[in-house]
Structures are given as C-alpha cells and as structure tokens.
Amino acid sequence: MIKQLFQIVGEDQRGLFRRFVALVILFCIAQGVSFLLLLPILNAIFDPGSPDLWMWIVCLVFSAGIAIICNYFSSVIGVHLSLGISSRLYHRIGDHIATLPLGWFSQQRTGTVTRTISSGTDNVVLVFGFLMTPMLNGIITPSVLTLGMLIIDWRIGIAFLVAIPFLWGMNRLGRLFYRKGDGGMDRAAAAANARIIEYVQAQPVLRAYGYVGDANQSLQKVLLQQRHASNRHLKSTIPGSIIFRIAVQLVLLLVVIAIVPLALGAQISPATAIALIAVVAQFTSSVSTVADLGGGIRMARSSLRKIADILNAKPLPVPDKPARPSSQHEVRLEGVSFGYDSHSPVIQNVSFSVPSKTTVAIVGPSGSGKSTLIKLIARFYDVDSGRIVFADSDIRELATEDLMQHISLVFQDVYLFDDTIWENIRIGNEQATDEQVLRASRIAQVEEIIRRLPEGWDTNVGEGGHSLSGGERQRISIARAILKNAPVILLDEATSAIDPENEAAFLEGLAEVTTDKTVLMVAHRLSTIQGADQIVFLREGTVTEIGSHDELLNLNGDYAAFWRERAKASSWSIT
C-alpha cells in the first residue's frame, strides 16, 4: 500500500512523504527499544548493588525521547500530507475524467466514480492521519522486539519467531472471510449510489407517474440488495476477527506459560520474567492493533484500487505532434462508421461535407444517429472506421484543446452550473466584455428572461439549472455558445424547448452572427431546417439523401415524405 500511496503523491510532496515514513519507522524502532530496555532496568532495580541502573534509565529516556519527537513530527507532517494529497487527488481525478471518452461513463460507473470521489479519497487521506503510524507500528515494533529477544534470551526469541508466521497466517485466513463479502458490498453500494442519483434527478417524471417513496420498486430493490450485501459483509468479517483475536491471546498465553517454568527453575530472574511478560504483552498488543485497523486498511486499499482504476482508464489518444487547424473550417466525414459496442453499429459508412461558412442540417427519424454524428465531430468518441476531417486535419491528429477551441456546442439536454445567469453565460468566454455578454444574450433571447426575474442577471439557476424551464436553459446555453465566438457551431436540437415566437427571433439573430461561421445542426422544426444551405437525411445510421430543401422536395424521397409529415403535424389543433 505504501508503494501505491507514493505513486499518487505529487512530485513536490514525495520528499515530505519519505520523511514521514522515515519518522514513523524511527518512532517504531525507538518504541521497541524502549520496551526492551525494561529488562536491564528491572534487573538493576532488583539488584541493589548494580552500578548500571542510571545508565539504563538514561538510555530509556533517550530512546523514549526519540520516539516522542518522531511521533510528534510525523503527526504534523501527516496532517500536511493529508491536506495536500486530498487536494491533489481531487484535481488529478477531475483532470483525468475530463480526458475520458463519454462512452466510459455508464450509469453504474458514474455511481462508482461518485462514491470514489466523495468517500474513497477520504479513506486514502485518513491513512496519513490515523492508519500509517499504527500500521507500521504493528509490523516494525514486533520485529524489533523479536530481534531483541533473540539477543537477550534465544528461547523466548524463537517463540516470537514462531508466533509471527502463525499470526500472519491467521490474519490471512481472516482476510479470506472478509473478501467473500467485500466485493459484493462495493458493487451493491455503487448500484445504490447510481440509482439514488437517478431518483433525485428524475423527480418530475417519477412524481408524474406516482413512482415515489415505496412505489419506486427499482430504488427499493437496490437499497434492499445493499442492505443484504452489508449484512453478508458484516457476517464475513466476524469469523476472521474472532480467529485472529483467539490466535493473539493464545500466543500471549503460550509465551507466558513458557516464561513461568524458566523463572521457577531460576533460569531467569523474577525481574526478567516480569519484563518479558511486559514485552510479550506489547508484542501481542502491537500485532492486535493491525487487526483492529484491518477494516480501515482494507477500505483504504480498496479506495486506492478504485482511484487507480479511474486514473488508469485510457483517455482518447493524443498525438505526439498535433496538427494545427487551418483557417478553412470545413468539416468532412469520409466513410465514417461507429457503434457504442462492436455488435450494434449506429453510424454506417457516412460521407458528406460541411463547407466553410455554410449551414448544414441533419434530419431523420428518431434513433437514426443524428446526435451521435454531432458527438463524433466533437470527438466525444473515436470512429470505428473512416475519418472525420476538420480544418484540413483528421480530428484524431488535433490536440483536444485546439479542437474544442474551434467548436461551440449546444445540446438538447442543457446543463447549467449552480451560479448566476450572468456567470453561466460568461463561461463561454471569460475574457468577454460586458457588452459582448449582453449582445450574445440579446441574440439568444435571454434578456426576455431577465426582465421577468426579480434578481435579473444575479438570479442563481440552481444545480443543473433546475430553477429555470427547459426553454430558458436552452437560451442561456445558446448565449454561452454565441459568446464563445468559435468558427464552427454544432447544434443538437438546440431550440427544441423554445417557444415559436422566441425561436423566430433567435433564428434571425443567429443568422446575423453565423454569416462567417460553419454551422451543423440537428433539427426537426421546419423553420429551422428550411433555411439550411444543405440538408443531410439520415435513416438507420446511413445517409440516404443530400441536397438543398428545394432539391430534396423535388426528389420526392425520404426527405419529402418527412417534410409532408412534419407539415401535417404542425397544422394539428385541438378544437
């Protein structure tokens, strides 16, 4: 575990970590020596004519002083390491998560990540404050006592040597019991965590259909499974703990039984016998401490493994020498195929281009792969075959920062941060002036929202923007994308929740700011589609038609049928 801890400690803290471990080791050695010094001190006390009593007392004071000083400074350094590693772990995990493909984030894995970040990092940090010193003390101090006893009385030393592998074996046996219930508890906890997050996020839907409280069977099921897993885990740890404690007490009893005949036979003095019993008690106490901390140590190891799993997850490949995007912001798909798994292709041999400074609309039935295409262009995933060319370079040859700098994204599912409306828009470009923020807000029809809110721009939108409607969140997200002023804009049903009046004003403003930009949009609304320079019709992951609105209507194929159905649906009314 020390090796794993050393790997997650930053370069700037590794020297401090080495000093911390060295001080703890020195403390354990000094403590063991202090207990061994009880033998000559007690012998000197019971021998009035001994001239060595004060010498041994001075040695004890010196050894105990070293132990106290080392323990103090190791505790101080441990606190500093805990604070530093806590901050570093959060940053490392956060930075690494930002490089992972979205396909890595399944619902189950999201629950595991959430649990690891919230409690796993705390378990690791506690190692420095509470676990490291007693853990090493339970290993080093018994070793020092054993070595000392071999020098002082080889018979007791041999008993210690026999006791160490015996106790180690009993501890291993206890860990086998523990492992049977450990994995199941972790899996059940991750599943429950994911389901609780889903339960909180889906409250509007759940309440609408009466799936709250006991009625939500899926939540009740995972909570019951977690309860059963916790019970199994508890039951699995009890036998191992009992076995080890019995073994420790048995060692203490057997060594004491061995000491008594030696004292009665005058082979050792009564003072030596008393001191040996004290040393044996310390030996078993130190070993027992490791067992007492076993749960915390195993939790820390488990957390370290989970953190390592996250940090070892492969990010999207980054080229050693990234290409530089050209000034021609054309997007071109060449024979692109992709599936979220190897058995279910979503996109099949798709080829089309979005010329620089033009607008292209992707339309088609639900589930045809439109949103997936947008995500592939933004390189949320890598294609299985073919390639996507952006600004004259394969996007896999571009640095992620360069690609993201040239793209503004607006999705149907908008996420806003728990901050004010003003700051949520300003995230698009933190160097933007107030005038630029206001202009982007005006184009996206955000000013109409501001006029209705008592706190105006300072209105806090809540986590995820829950205090605003879907249409209001979309408008803020669009303003954020406009403020970024990237040469390429990707819109995925960006106006699906906006009312027709605001959509018309938005489209007019969007046309004003996109005259020199490349726009690729997924849309269903006729007003949005009709104004595109080119339309790509997608069905079951395959491009069936490409052309302008008039060209595709004259073709009288898939797009024409789609257009007629949409026109018919838009004329429906309730009388």
Residue 332 in contact with residue 389, Cβ under 8 Å? yes
274's tokens: 């008393």
Q: For position 574, what pLDDT does the model report?
A: 46
Which string of DSSP letters, residue by residue, matches 487-522?
Answer: SEEEEESTTTTS-HHHHHHHHHHHHHH-TTSEEEEE
* DSSP helix/strand/coil, 536: strand
Nearest to residue 397, comparing CAs of 312, 316, 490, 486? 316
**Edge to edge, what strands does the sheet with 393-394 contain?**
344-354, 331-341, 385-390, 393-394
Task: Supply the pTM of this predicted model.
Answer: 0.65
Q: For position 58, what pLDDT does the model report?
A: 92
**What mean pLDDT do residues 540-555 have?**
91
Euclidean distance between the first and the last CA atom of the chain, given in angstroms as a whole number: 72
The residue with tokens 């050695």 is: 29
What is d(CA 339, CA 264) in angstroms, rounded to the nearest whole number? 81
Task: Give the type of residue at 507.
Answer: L
> Which position has the higher pLDDT, 201 or 16?
16
Q: Which residues of 8-25 are buried (b: 16+ CB within 10 A; e: fewer)?
A: bbeeebeebbeebbebbb
What is d(CA 237, CA 171) in angstroms, rounded to the nearest whole number? 11
Q: For position 243, what pLDDT does the model report?
A: 79
The rounded percent of the chain whose pLDDT value lies above 90 is 14
* DSSP helix/strand/coil, 335: strand
Which string of DSSP letters, residue by residue, matches 271-329?
Answer: HHHHHHHHHHHHHHHHHHHHHHTHHHHHHHHHHHHHHHHHHHSPPPP--SSPBPP-S--
Q: What is the CA radius of gyration of the chain?
A: 34
Residue 481 in contact with residue 446, Cβ under 8 Å? no
> Which position has the higher pLDDT, 17 or 47?
17
Q: For the beta carbon of residue 499, count every other beta carbon within 10 angstroms.
A: 11
Nearest to residue 426, comparing CAs of 434, 469, 454? 434
529's tokens: 């589609």
Strand partners, 352: 333
Query: Is the predicted pLDDT of residue 268 greater than 90, yes or no?
Result: no
Distances (CA, A) of 575 to 212, 426, 567, 572: 35, 44, 19, 10
Mean of per-residue pLDDT scores for the chain: 81
pLDDT digits (tens, 9 = 90+) for 279-298: 888 888 887 777 777 667 77
Task: Specify the DSSP element, H or E, that contains 544.
Answer: strand 542-547
Of 250-259, 286-295, 466-475, 564-573, the least confident: 564-573
**Can you give 152-209 as a three-state secondary structure string?**
HCHHHHHHHHHHHHHHHHHHHHHHHHHHHHHHHHHHHHHHHHHHHHHHHHCHHHHHHC
**What mean pLDDT do residues 468-485 have?**
85
Distances (CA, A) of 490 to 88, 163, 377, 509: 34, 69, 9, 16
Nearest to residue 403, comparing CAs of 314, 475, 488, 281? 488
Strand partners, 491: 410, 521
Query: Is the predicted pLDDT of residue 90 greater than 50, yes or no?
Result: yes
Query: Is the predicted pLDDT of residue 479 greater than 70, yes or no?
Result: yes
117 Cβ contact partners less than 8 Å away, ≥ 6 residues apart:
90, 93
Burial classification of residue 266, based on how many CB atoms lie within 10 Å of its CB (0-12 exposed, 13-18 middle, 19 or more buried): exposed
